[in-house]
Structure 1
Amino acid sequence: MNRDFIVFEHLQLSQARVVLLLLLVLLLLLVILAGSLFHFSTNTFAGLVFCCVGLLLVYGLGFSRYRISGYIRLYFDTIEVIEKSCDQVSSFQISKIKSINLKINGVYNADPVMIRPFFSGEHNSSKKAISKLVLITEGEKNVLKIRAKSMNFCLLEEILDRYKASGIIVKATIFK
């Protein structure tokens, strides 16, 4: 039994980001309202608005939209979804899966030593390499947001070929 596998990070939208954005927008509105009510000087008002806009820019550029909620392992015979929060493992047997749709939008490499120059087409170290895996079984459809980290694409192709040989409809779009 071959136990080689490919690992993806399972991502979920961070709700804290939405709350933080609302608080920053409310702060900006409060500064504008206070400026009109208390008749701040032009320099004070401009400084406060500039600070609020700066906070919004730092928020927009500095915070990740997604958080890692678990991992997904693709084996030759099963697919496992591992949730970090409750140590729950959902296992999908290949015989139960009707179709797989996989879209990889690049590979995220967190190690700065591994980052190649921009002209190198081999590695995409974009943090925005959010991808998607759709599993359709007999009773349900699972849409999973994933992020691929440095991985063996030959092994991924072998696993997907094994899935195709098992009668699963496999659609894969892979941008390395």
Structure 2
Amino acid sequence: MHCWNILKDQPKRIERRKEIGCAKKMSNKKQKTTANSSPLSVEPAAPVGGGSDAQPAGRPDGKKKEKQKLRQGRTIEAVDYLMAKKKEADLEKELKKEERCNRAFALQEERIKLERVKFEFKREIKEEKIIALDLSTMTFDDQQYYEDRKRKIRERCFNI
């Protein structure tokens, strides 16, 4: 009786007494149940006692709700942790991609330089052949053409 005297005025007990009172007023015939109803969740049609809400604001959460809140909090923490890991991985991936692009660009520049050196080398070989030509056996027009070419080659070599 001591415990009952302490707990009888708690919001949970008051709600339970209201539910029992409504259940006694209803008939004892079996009724079809719906998907969202249960014998314990029957709410009175009209509030009994001074117009208070069906669920008082001061009623504490049950153990199941507390556990569900804990699980939900852990889930949110896990999602936050995974999102942070994903951001780190994305940042690292982006840095690696940028590094690969920079390396590819440097290699491309090196290849262009080598091609330029190769072109210059072939050009020098051709120019040396033109300068070393014997013009005495050629016709006058050919001599004029090659003399002009030799002059342009010399000008370019000495002006650079």
Normalising by structure 1, we get a TM-score of 0.22
**Which structure: larger Rg?**
2
By percentage of residues, which structure has more helix?
2
Higher relative contact order (CA 8 A, sep 6+): 1
Normalising by structure 2, we get a TM-score of 0.24
By percentage of residues, which structure has more strand?
1
